[in-house]
């Protein structure tokens, strides 16, 4: 089976049951083109996290296949897959554990073998992409929550991933930090898969949205059309903020 050069992610027939017998995914098919920004929406318990954990081999053993840039997600490819699929967790403190921002961002590339000036340039480049180069020598725990989230993004970008997976990227951010992160995400030349309950943020950043519900994809289309389908939204426990009209928001560019 071959994949076209323009495809970052191809999920085919993915089904997965946890050891306790709970079936979380039932034959998911999803293709994401290189450079696309796609929002993964759905109620709690829909299977979103289970799907994401298959993208870099944290979960395996179910039916179906997952390919990243044509590379099958299987044990012999795990090192390369985990470089190509960068996951930014909801809580940045799950990712930041070194004494300084510089050391946190350098950790992955150093483990992959980068040294000296090449490593320093990689760190500087990643921090510049998130506007945090002036904070390289600061301890992460001295930063604001929004700044820590941006550094967490930089730790992943330092690995030059094919796909950036963001878990609830706007959660706990003040309005200014939310906007700053949106500006950063718009500027990145990577494929983005954004897991979020923040539907206005999905509309602002992602032209395409996929709804996962009860382990199956029930909708896949333009974010505006998905959010405007009141019956679809109601059926899958997705609610827009009071007074928010998706038709009034400019589509992402």
Tokens 């090449």 — which residue?
118
pLDDT in tens, the chain (253 residues): 344 458 999 999 999 999 998 999 999 999 999 999 999 999 888 899 999 999 988 888 789 999 998 899 999 999 889 889 999 999 998 889 999 999 999 999 999 888 999 999 999 999 999 999 999 999 999 999 999 999 999 999 999 999 999 999 999 999 999 999 999 999 998 999 999 999 999 999 999 999 999 999 999 999 999 999 999 999 999 988 888 888 877 665 5
Give the domain CATH number at 172.
3.40.50.300
In a domain, 74, yes or no: yes
* Bridge pairing between strands 208-213 and 71-72: unpaired
SS3 137: coil
User: Dihedral of CA 178/107/66/163: which sign?
Assistant: positive
* Residue 117: domain span: 7-248
Give the pLDDT score at 251.
64
In a domain, 139, yes or no: yes
In a domain, 253, yes or no: no
Closest by alpha carbon to 38, among 165, 153, 129, 171? 165
Both structure tokens of 199: 């539907």
DSSP string, 65-105: EEEETTEE-SGGGHHHHHHHEEEE-SSGGGT--SSSHHHHH
In a domain, 147, yes or no: yes
Give the pLDDT score at 242.
85
Give the pLDDT score at 2.
40
Give the pLDDT score at 231.
94
- Half-sphere CA count of 244, side-chain side, radius 13 A: 18
In a domain, 2, yes or no: no
* Bridge pairing between strands 23-33 and 63-68: unpaired
Our count of domains for the chain comes to 1
In a domain, 73, yes or no: yes
């Amino acid at each position: 089976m071959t994949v076209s050069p323009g495809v970052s992610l191809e999920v085919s027939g993915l089904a997965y049951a946890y050891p306790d017998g709970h079936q979380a995914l039932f034959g998911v098919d999803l293709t994401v083109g290189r450079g696309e920004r796609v929002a993964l929406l759905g109620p709690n318990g829909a299977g979103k996290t289970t799907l994401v954990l298959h993208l870099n081999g944290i979960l395996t053993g179910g039916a179906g296949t997952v390919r990243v840039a044509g590379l099958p997600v299987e044990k012999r490819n795990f090192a390369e897959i985990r470089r190509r699929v960068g996951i930014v967790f909801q809580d940045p403190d799950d990712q930041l554990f070194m004494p300084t921002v510089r050391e946190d961002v350098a950790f992955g590339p150093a483990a992959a073998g980068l040294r000296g000036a090449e490593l320093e340039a990689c760190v500087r480049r990643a921090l510049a992409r998130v506007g945090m180069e002036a904070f390289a020598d600061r301890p992460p725990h001295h930063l604001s929550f929004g700044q820590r989230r941006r550094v967490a993004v930089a730790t992943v970008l330092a690995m030059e991933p094919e796909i950036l997976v963001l878990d609830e990227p706007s959660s706990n951010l003040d309005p200014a930090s939310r906007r700053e992160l949106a500006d950063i995400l718009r500027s990145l030349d990577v494929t983005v898969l954004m897991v979020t309950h923040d539907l206005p943020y999905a509309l602002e950043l992602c032209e395409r949205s996929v709804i996962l519900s009860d382990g199956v994809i029930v909708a896949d289309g333009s974010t505006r059309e998905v959010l405007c389908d009141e019956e679809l939204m109601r059926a899958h426990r997705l609610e827009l903020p009071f007074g928010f009209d998706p038709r009034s928001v400019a589509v992402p560019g």
